[in-house]
Structure 1
Amino acid sequence: MTERKPAGMPFETWVDRAIREADERGEFTDLPGAGKPIPGAGQPDDELWWVKAKLRREKLTFIPPSLALRKDVEEIHDRAAQQCGEADVRRLVDDLNARIRIAIRTGIAGPAITVMPLDPDQVVATWRERRTPAADATTGTAEPRPTQPARQRWFRGRRRS
């Protein structure tokens, strides 16, 4: 901080002197953003500039819910390929179908909803087709694992009669 402005000195002169002295001390060297244009300079003022800056900084996107549903339907097979089992794939499809049904029933913001609930059996069949070649390539053939014999109980206490 600097000292207070002397009483008899004009404000402009005092500010100019403070800037000059700080520059001589080197307080303005190596500042972040030095020599770069001011972001948003020359663009019209926007009320939500801080929201847009936050979205850009966090690398987030905002799309209307109806378009998000459409995007999820397009990506369902890729997301299903990442699942480990058929139950997980069915759960994924059931969750998406529930969101689609709610959107159709209640209506959501954005363009008209053009997607219909998916057939879980069809998605599972596609998941199996994509998965089988990968399983064959890694193990040679997709063989079932040998079953282990049933374990016996370790404690056989006396039976009470």
Structure 2
Amino acid sequence: MNEDARSRAARYRLEPGADTAGPDETEDDAPPPRRLPEDQTLWVDQQIRAAMARGEFDDLPLAGKPLPHIDTAAEPDWWLKRFIERENITGVLPEALQLRKDDAVLRDVLDTLRSERAVREAVEEFNRRIVAARRQLQGGPPVVTQLRDIEVEAAAWHQRRAARARERLAADPSEPTGPGPIRRAWDRLRRRG
């Protein structure tokens, strides 16, 4: 690099007071210094070399390996798909498609809940989302997910819960059946209040 190029590249460094005007100059009177594209290229090269000297590029994921081939003509949004996979991003589907996914796993989600009240609230929230998606005017795929009947879902939840309890009892007969004394006392207190 010759001396003229170095001096042009040095103009890009930020120095204290370099951007302030002199005592008899105002900001309107002094035009900013003209920068050439070559100067910026030199400055960028200096920054990259300095980062390499500090070792900031040593632990990159593909260090020492060839870059993977990407057919951009066949897959124009390849970078977006890779970003979603790498960052494990979920919930970016249109609401109609997200509702279909959530509908497929709703039974499993309900089975993780511990009370009938929580099951009813979860089904109500799911139904609210369906109604809100049907009202939207933003376009996208149509909402074909059906509303869930809260009473039917609560009854099915009780049946699945009882079936799991029977399976646990069959696997381990020494396990106590029915709610324990603390649970029975809690249920009595809830019925009073």
Q: Give the shorter-chain TM-score range.
A: 0.5 to 0.7
Shift of 1:98: 0.5
Shift of 1:109: 3.9
Among 47, 53, 63, the alignment partner of 1:34 is 63
Q: Which runs of no fewer than 5 residues in structure 1 stay unpaired?
A: 10-24, 151-161
Q: Distance in 1 between matches of 2:65 and 2:104?
A: 41
Larger % of helix: which?
2
Q: Distance in 1 between matches of 2:103 and 2:126?
A: 8
Q: Is 2:162 the counterpart of 1:132?
A: yes
Point out the more displaced range, 100-109 or 31-40. Answer: 31-40
Identity %: 29
Point out the more displaced range, 98-107 or 78-87. Answer: 98-107
Kindly tell me: are residues 74 and 8 of structure 1, through their superposed partners in 2, closer, same or farther at Cα, counting changes over 3 Å? closer
What TM-score results when the alignment is normalised by the length of structure 2? 0.53
Among 2, 8, 31, the alignment partner of 1:6 is 2
Three-state SS of the structure 2 residue aligned to 1:133 is helix
Task: Say whether the 8 Å CA contact 1:66–1:109 is kept in structure 2.
Answer: no
Among 59, 80, 98, the alignment partner of 1:68 is 98
CA displacement 1:80-104 (0-9 Å, x = unmatched): 0000000000000000000111112
Query: Partner letter of residue 180 of structure 2?
Result: R
Match of residue 86 from structure 1: 116
Q: Is 2:72 the counterpart of 1:43?
A: yes
Query: Partner letter of residue 63 of structure 2?
Result: A
CA displacement 1:41-83 (0-9 Å, x = unmatched): 553495783x444312112243221011111122111100000
> How many pairs does the alignment contain?
132
Among 153, 170, 178, the alignment partner of 1:143 is 178
Q: Is 2:81 the counterpart of 1:56?
A: no
Measured on the aligned residues, the alpha-carbon RMSD in Å equals 3.8
Q: Distance in 1 between matches of 2:85 and 2:153?
A: 34
Shift of 1:38: 2.1
Three-state SS of the structure 2 residue aligned to 1:75 is helix
